[in-house]
Chain A
Amino acid sequence: MEDYIVEMRHITKRFPGIVANDDVSIGIRRGEVYALLGENGAGKSTLMSMLFGMYEPDRGEILIDGKKVVFHSSNDATAHNIGMVHQHFKLVDNYTIAENIVLGSEPMTKMFGFLPSVDMKKANREIAELSKTYGLEVNPTDRIEDVPVSVRQRVEILKMLYRKADIMIFDEPTAVLTPQEIEFLLQIIDGLRKAGKTIILITHKIEEIKKIADRCAILYRGRLVDVLDVRTTSVQDMANMMVGRAVDFNPHKSEPDYRGTVLKVDHMTVKNENHFEVVKDVSFEVRSGEIFAIAGVSGNGQTEIADAITGMLKIDSGTVTLGGRDITHLTIRERAVEGVSYIPEDRHGTGVVMDFTLRDNLALRQYYRDPFSRHGILNFDKFQSYSETLIDRYDIRSGQGPKTIIRSMSGGNQQKAIIGREIEEHSKLIIFVQPTRGLDIGAIEKVHRQILDERDRGAAILLISLELDEVMELADTIGVIYNGQLLKIAPASTMTSHDVGRYMMGVKEA
């Protein structure tokens, strides 16, 4: 028998309509970096959520240090020295870093000798020490809302260390980071391994696994496909196994063929609801047949640019012109009719109505006009036939076809539905914001193909992405945004990903 620190045996977990994990058995050795690779919906996060006590498996058992355990909540997991950094950080924005870290297990003292109170001095001191020991630089007294994403992630890691976690689960930790920050995070993980921690890394980015992991378990549609030694397996093999077929890494991108300006943004300034300028005096043009990508670290004003062009946000000054027509003061619907399609960043919050059927969601751009409705009366025959066409054309998979409630569909298929719905408008301008966020390699490949096809059809594409790889792969022209300003606009062929990365950090002269 090997010395496994964690063993999960024959784990099965069901959710209404799907089997998230089907008889999965894995064993993790003490002190290794163990990667879980799989497409979206393959069951990686579910499996780890069970190890962290957030769900209980329907069947199967979990062993820690060879002893069987049953976790009813994440507190039980914490008691067994298991920690987890979630994809969406679980931090209180208006608390300081130290307060966030000690929250739930605060060091106590007696005020005036009898009133129990939190000993923040001690907490600050301990956290400063911890951060020094592991090279995780943070200032314990900063508020979370004032620090960037990469620091927030460090806070999450410190939270685990503070609770003496030996087994650390990272759920897609690099999704929100710049290339430089990813590099740094991988170093931190390596340091943790050297300090004797066991790391479980959930990801769909194979390069990272190749860089840092010792072994890698591949999940496909809830089943365990294989457990590989990372050193002896090629990236291509891992990708194929993960998607269940051969993957084409480089979509064949034809030479661009520009045909006149479609979108012209002129000295546009946008304020958010707190009257704070989030987009400052931005100007750029997108031509027909061009993919103009805006690269930047999350929260630098890129989504606001998209919202301002589509009408979701008011433009404070400057103009937006579409195909020669000033659309600055048109309503959202008028702009859509004029030829703006929009794949929004927040799929669930904006892109679909979660409890509507697939059929109704596919008709959201059309429902009010002939032949979808006449004199205000909906024509459901048209709804039905239209949704069947789109389901077929865009390969949207769902449990029950048009009448499936979209909430029950996988993220990839929800995104396919949104992209299909928007592309089908045959708009002059299509804005993609984070179009592949949370999607797996197979789905990403398809989305990229669709974006390129639309560009070749002659649409102007505005691509806003936090994934630098995606920007480098697709863009004809790159604009780098920092703090609401476009620092640099240049043809993609003249910039390396390292140049772009530097502009993303606000360095003006590369």
Chain B
Amino acid sequence: MNTKKKGRWLANLLNSEKYSSFTVSVLAIILTLITASVLLLLMGKNPLVAFRSFLQGCGFLPKANYGGGSGMLSDLTDFLNYLAPMLLAALAFIVGFKAGLFNIGIAGQMLLSGFVATIVIGYNKNLPAGVAKPLVLIIGIVVGGLAGALIGFLKYKFNIHEVVSTIMVNYIISYLTGFFINNKFVDMLTRTSRVCAPAARLTLTNIQIGGVNCKIPFGILIAIIMAIVVQFIFDRTAFGFELKAVGQNKNCAKYIGVSVGKSLVASMAFSGILAGLAGVTYYLGYTNTIIPKTLVGMGYDSIAVALLGNSSPVGSIFAAIVVTVFQQGANYMSSAVGVAKEIASLITGILLLYASCGGYMKGLARGVIQKDLDREAEAKRAASHKEDAGQGKEGER
């Protein structure tokens, strides 16, 4: 009886209108941790130690020892430095997704805006920081927005599915920028693009706080502001209302007079703007250089973040933290526990899998509740039957 009660309690939480978006995600995380634990145990490692070292790597828990000049705070600011583009990329996905578009070109849009900002501003040694940094952001917005709008335009004008066009455009961007980097902007030693001027970089490095070396990523501020802005647009504005209508029923949107074509272009442009911001915070913040012909995995990780956050902009802040812990903490975990750091991507994949089962989990919960109600109704009916029978006997007497 007790276990049944507990099952019911969990089912109620999963099925409740208010909390389900939250509880389903939490359950997905728990299931992921369990699955990952099994994997780690199979490899002969202690999962608890592994999970602790993920957190240690991100500056949430103290490591056993630190190198000269670094400490917990350095790890934490590193973590925030990576979190910023991750969150922005997830927001980019969410904006497209709400309007019914599956933007998997985020990595390409990031790369293009990062590349343009790097060669236009990053290699310009004469600009003061106060001019260079805002210009980098503006380039991210404009280039990302245009790259996104192109996808929307192709869909609207020629009915090319966005998944197809973004994959193709990803390749084009990757090889085109790779070509220019290898020919003009390459650092002969590292084989990546030459580093940007510090004035253009959106992350301040080598800042001493409390005696340790820290970074100050401006990107994280931008990302959180954008999360709130996106949430506001979808919750409170006529523009967001239209995008959601287009996303859920194009015919109906057309019928009520929304220009569906314009909405498609607008939402892809908006998605591209956020991807562009993710790009500049990644390539001119987290890294300071571009590896030619390489699309970052973050473009796809962001889809996991968006799904785990139930496509809610503010919810994805928390989802981004979870995914980033695995991605960013993987290096330290790898050296501390001795598991290849690729397990981080594996865990993200498992997380994506469970997160996308959200609807199924809700359905299961509903079934459990219904069965319980049935059982209660049955019990009641049986009880009232007994009463009737009892009364009948009394009457006979």
Alpha-carbon distance A333/B366, docked complex (angstroms): 41
Verify if B187 is at the interface (C-beta below 8 Å from A): no
The one of A350, A353, A373 in contact with B248, judged by C-beta atoms closer than 8 angstroms, is: A353
> Could you give, for residues 245-257 of chain B, a 1 whenever the CB lies within 8 Å of some chain A CB and a 0 otherwise?
1001101111111
Verify if B239 is at the interface (C-beta below 8 Å from A): yes
Alpha-carbon distance A364/B241, docked complex (angstroms): 10
| Chain A hits for B238, CB < 8 A | 367-368, 373, 376-378
A-B residue pair count with CB separations less than 8 angstroms: 67
The segment from A63-71, A279-287, A354-362, A472-480 that touches chain B is: A354-362
Alpha-carbon distance A360/B240, docked complex (angstroms): 13
User: Are A312 and B249 in contact (CB-based, < 8 A)?
Assistant: no
Verify if B374 is at the interface (C-beta below 8 Å from A): yes
Verify if A43 is at the interface (C-beta below 8 Å from B): no
| Chain B hits for A351, CB < 8 A | 252, 255
Q: Nearest-CB distance from B232 to chain A (Å)?
A: 9
User: Are A364 and B256 in contact (CB-based, < 8 A)?
Assistant: yes
User: Are B236 and A332 in contact (CB-based, < 8 A)?
Assistant: no
Verify if B391 is at the interface (C-beta below 8 Å from A): no
User: Are B251 and A16 in contact (CB-based, < 8 A)?
Assistant: no
> Could you give, for residues 368-410 of chain A, a 1 whenever the CB lies within 8 Å of some chain B CB and a 0 otherwise?
1000010011100000000000000000000000000000000
Query: Which chain A residue shows the least CB distance to B363?
Result: A16
Chain B interface size range? 20 to 34
Alpha-carbon distance A344/B253, docked complex (angstroms): 13
Alpha-carbon distance A342/B245, docked complex (angstroms): 18
The one of A350, A367, A373 in contact with B252, judged by C-beta atoms closer than 8 angstroms, is: A350
Verify if B16 is at the interface (C-beta below 8 Å from A): no
Q: Nearest-CB distance from B371 to chain A (Å)?
A: 9
Alpha-carbon distance A364/B254, docked complex (angstroms): 11
User: Are B236 and A378 in contact (CB-based, < 8 A)?
Assistant: yes
| Chain A hits for B259, CB < 8 A | 331
User: Are B248 and A355 in contact (CB-based, < 8 A)?
Assistant: yes
Alpha-carbon distance A312/B236, docked complex (angstroms): 28
User: Are A377 and B236 in contact (CB-based, < 8 A)?
Assistant: yes
> Could you give, for residues 82-102 of chain A, a 1 whenever the CB lies within 8 Å of some chain B CB and a 0 otherwise?
000000000000000000000
A353-B248, A355-B248, A377-B236 are known contacts. Are A332 and B254 too (CB-CB below 8 A)?
A: yes
Query: Which chain A residue shows the least CB distance to B370?
Result: A14
Verify if A352 is at the interface (C-beta below 8 Å from B): yes
Verify if B237 is at the interface (C-beta below 8 Å from A): yes
| Chain B hits for A353, CB < 8 A | 244-245, 248-249, 252-253
User: Are B257 and A331 in contact (CB-based, < 8 A)?
Assistant: yes
Q: Nearest-CB distance from B154 to chain A (Å)?
A: 19
User: Are A377 and B237 in contact (CB-based, < 8 A)?
Assistant: yes
Having A331-B257, A376-B237, one finds 4 other A-B pairs with CB under 8 Å, namely A333-B258, A353-B245, A354-B249, A356-B244
A–B pairs, 24, beta carbons within 8 Å:
A58-B370, A58-B374, A310-B255, A312-B254, A312-B255, A331-B257, A331-B259, A332-B254, A334-B257, A342-B255, A346-B251, A349-B252, A350-B249, A350-B251, A350-B255, A351-B252, A353-B245, A353-B253, A356-B244, A360-B241, A376-B237, A378-B236, A378-B238, A378-B241
